[in-house]
A and B are shown apart, each in its own frame.
Chain A
């Protein structure tokens, strides 16, 4: 598969439906993170929160989807994020990615992609980057 990512390219944004309590319960089961602050509003309040909030790893998984729907997974060399704000239940994250550079690393050409997750109120919840192996111009 040809993968001509170039500096300045934008990945197609991934818009996620509002995160329901059901989604948080499914993610608790799927990920094995059973921390009650994500699935039990009583526990969330006891921890000083207004309500349950999404697992940070759920938003990171959305970034994984942003990548794998546009590049084969075996091309992903790394995915790194910093969690910058809590994602409340019912929030609607939008994942975006932009190629900032393409360069040689460990004998292959890799695109460096800047990633963000933002909520509709403008809050940035995750920032990060991914490294994707791309084809050399001659192979395209």
Chain B
């Protein structure tokens, strides 16, 4: 069933993360990052960072710091199993570091129907802020909602 355009403007529950060094090292291990600046606090400080820097795309992970990070989809009538990640953009204002407490707040900002209703593109825009309320990054992600039941 097609989404109601009134979902635009819906706020997604905020998520928070106290960034831990161990979690950053696990992320780096997973992505094959071996640069000591991202793994070793002394190397990070020697490079001018106050602590381990948060890799650029790790900021998107803050959105997952909730018991069910996809619960905003069923809340608007979307089955998470029908969703694919279509686009992701990150605009950076500052580099975050381990021990920062980051918060992400987002809302749905666009709904576009494609292929006569077989696909809908749902866009969420979010802002990541640090403990002082400064903007760290602006995130924008688009999910593709598949509607295989729609007959052309």
Spell out A's residues near B (CB within 8 Å). Answer: 16-17, 23, 26-27, 29-35, 47, 56-58, 60-65, 67-69, 73-74, 76-83
Closest Cβ–Cβ distance, residue B74 to chain A (whole Å): 14
Q: Tell me which residues across on chain B come within 8 A of A62, comparing CB atoms.
A: 31-32
CA distance A83 to B85 in the complex (A): 7
B91-113 Cβ-contact flags toward A at 8 Å (1 or 0)? 11001000000000000000000
Q: Can you name the residue of chain A whose Cβ is closest to the Cβ of B69? A: A32
Interface centre among B30, B80, B91 (most CB of A within 10 A): B30
Q: Can you name the residue of chain A whose Cβ is closest to the Cβ of B81? A: A47
CA distance A17 to B32 in the complex (A): 9
Q: Tell me which residues across on chain B come within 8 A of A73, comparing CB atoms.
A: 53, 55-56, 95
Instruction: Count residues of chain B with CB under 8 A from any CB of chain A.
Output: 34
Question: Is the Cβ of B89 less than 8 Å from the Cβ of A81?
Answer: yes
CA distance A33 to B30 in the complex (A): 12
Question: Is the Cβ of B57 less than 8 Å from the Cβ of A64?
Answer: yes
Contact of B2 with A by CB under 8 A: no
CA distance A41 to B26 in the complex (A): 23
Closest Cβ–Cβ distance, residue A55 to chain B (whole Å): 8
Question: Is the Cβ of A30 less than 8 Å from the Cβ of B27?
Answer: yes
Question: Is the Cβ of B30 less than 8 Å from the Cβ of A78?
Answer: no
Question: Is the Cβ of A61 less than 8 Å from the Cβ of B88?
Answer: no
Question: Is the Cβ of A64 less than 8 Å from the Cβ of B55?
Answer: yes
Q: Tell me which residues across on chain A come within 8 A of B81, comparing CB atoms.
A: 47
Closest Cβ–Cβ distance, residue B116 to chain A (whole Å): 21
Q: Name the one of B35, B58, B85, B87 contacting A80, with C-beta atoms under 8 angstroms.
A: B87
Question: Is the Cβ of B89 less than 8 Å from the Cβ of A80?
Answer: yes
Contacting A at CB under 8 A, from B24-45, are: 26-33, 35, 38
CA distance A62 to B31 in the complex (A): 6
Interface centre among B53, B70, B90 (most CB of A within 10 A): B90
CA distance A74 to B86 in the complex (A): 26
Q: Name the one of B30, B69, B80 contacting A23, with C-beta atoms under 8 angstroms.
A: B30
